[in-house]
Structure 1
Amino acid sequence: MSFGDPNNPYGQQPPQGQPGHPQQAPQGVPPQYGYPQQPPQGAAPQYGYPQQAPPPYGAYPPPGMPVPGMPGSGMPPLAHWGLRVGAALLDGLIMAGPMYALIGVGAAVASDESTEAIAGVLSLIGTLYFFGMVLFQIYKEGTTGQTIGKKVVGISVHREADGATLGFGMAFVRKLAHFLDGIACYIGYLWPLWDEKKQTFADKVCSTVVIKVNKNG
């Protein structure tokens, strides 16, 4: 009785193709289950093939904002001059109204040394409120695109290039740039009336646009 090759003490090796032994795909035969597969060239990725990871959050501008290089993306509706004036008047009232009210009350009650001290305190509180509210409004405009007045009338300021918000630093620079709007008989504030992009001089310097938005957004 023979147990195979006498030179092989372990007996005969099972033929290839038996379970438990790696198999090689025959040349020219399509890969079967168990062989690594590659997607056909030019074919869309299917289940099981590596797929490209989606872009990270924040890679795209907000919905409705222009996407640079994308044909047909278009510019959102621009805010007309009347809306901008209305927002500016509301913001001015919110920032300066309480300050002048406190100063007025202080002046009304000032009649002697004791009441003059009270008037000074009221004036100080009003002044601190004004500057604090100015900084708060700049912060809101930089992070959300809207001051309180802009939110009420439904407009928002964004970077022209990609529709992103300005950030506190650029919003502060834009506020300073309004000096250019008033330096020549306030013509810069009137410029949106006939400008194609409805921009003031400050908008042009800072590359910003003011658009209409949903008031409930």
Structure 2
Amino acid sequence: MSEQDPPVPQGAPSQVPPTPPADPAWAAQGPSGPRARFGRRLVAYLIDAILLGIVYVVFAAIFDQAVGYGLSLLIGIAYFGYLEGGASGQTLGKRALGIRVIDFSSGGPIGYGRGVVRYLGRIVSGVVCLLGYLWMLWDKEKQTWHDKIATSVVVPVQYYPVS
């Protein structure tokens, strides 16, 4: 007699192991409250752009155009990186409109490094006809591309007060 596996009965259920539960660390769960609306974000950005535009005009008058542009870029990085990355998550424009930037996962500040990354991510958002900025209009989490790059989200201060 040869040794063989016992025959499998016809119609027997297959032996598939159960699916393990999802690791909660990998679950993308952002803050549960409302997000800042497109119009508020746009007006806040325009306020910031006007302020930085004034700085650019002053530097362009003092220095040649390339140096003025370079200094304006550095000031933009410092302005957005420091203010959006700080504890309040607010530039002057965001403060005026009552919105702030927070970390998508923790709801806390994004930090200065990610504030700079978020600012530089605006370049990506503007590459294809500003599609990255408009992305929030149909995105479930209302994130632009630069929000996604920095894993941040913009929210109303009334629901997420500054600590």
Q: Normalising by the residue count of structure 1, what TM-score does the alignment of the two structures yield?
A: 0.52
State how far apart, in whole Å, the 2-side matches of 1:176 and 1:126 are: 15
Q: How far apart are residue 207 of structure 1 and its match?
A: 1.7
Find the structure with the greater CA-based Rg: 1
Give identity over the alignment, percent: 33
Q: Normalising by the residue count of structure 2, what TM-score does the alignment of the two structures yield?
A: 0.67
Pairing of 1:116-155 with structure 2 (within 5 A): 120=63, 128=71, 131-132=74-75, 134-143=77-86, 144-155=88-99
**Amino acid aligned to 1:141:** E
Show the counterpart of 1:157: 101
Show the counterpart of 1:206: 150
CA RMSD of aligned residues (A): 2.9
CA contact (8 A) 1:142 1:170 kept: yes
Show the counterpart of 1:78: 35
Structure 2 SS opposite 1:190: helix
**Amino acid aligned to 1:174:** R
- 1:149-183 Cα offsets, whole Å, 9 max, x none, are 11111110111111010110011111112222112
Gaps of 5+ in 1: 1-67, 69-73, 107-118
Show the counterpart of 2:11: none
State how far apart, in whole Å, the 2-side matches of 1:161 and 1:155 are: 18
Task: Indicate how the Cα distance of structure 1 residues 97 and 195 shifts in structure 2: closer, same or farther if over 3 A, else same.
Answer: same
Task: Indicate how the Cα distance of structure 1 residues 181 and 161 shifts in structure 2: closer, same or farther if over 3 A, else same.
Answer: same
State how far apart, in whole Å, the 2-side matches of 1:136 and 1:192 are: 23
Question: Which structure is richer in relative contact order (CA contacts within 8 A, separation 6 or more)?
Answer: 2
Task: Indicate how the Cα distance of structure 1 residues 187 and 177 shifts in structure 2: closer, same or farther if over 3 A, else same.
Answer: same
1:174 aligned onto 2:131: no
Structure 1 SS opposite 2:102: strand
Q: Which has the higher helix share?
A: 2
Residue in structure 1 matching 2:49, options 62, 68, 92: 92
CA contact (8 A) 2:80 2:119 kept: no
**Amino acid aligned to 1:190:** L
CA contact (8 A) 1:145 1:158 kept: yes
State how far apart, in whole Å, the 1-side matches of 2:114 and 2:150 are: 8
Tell me the number of residue pairs that the alignment of Structure 1 and Structure 2 aligns: 130
**Amino acid aligned to 2:119:** K
**Amino acid aligned to 2:84:** E
Q: How far apart are residue 130 of structure 1 and its match?
A: 6.3
Task: Indicate how the Cα distance of structure 1 residues 184 and 150 shifts in structure 2: closer, same or farther if over 3 A, else same.
Answer: same
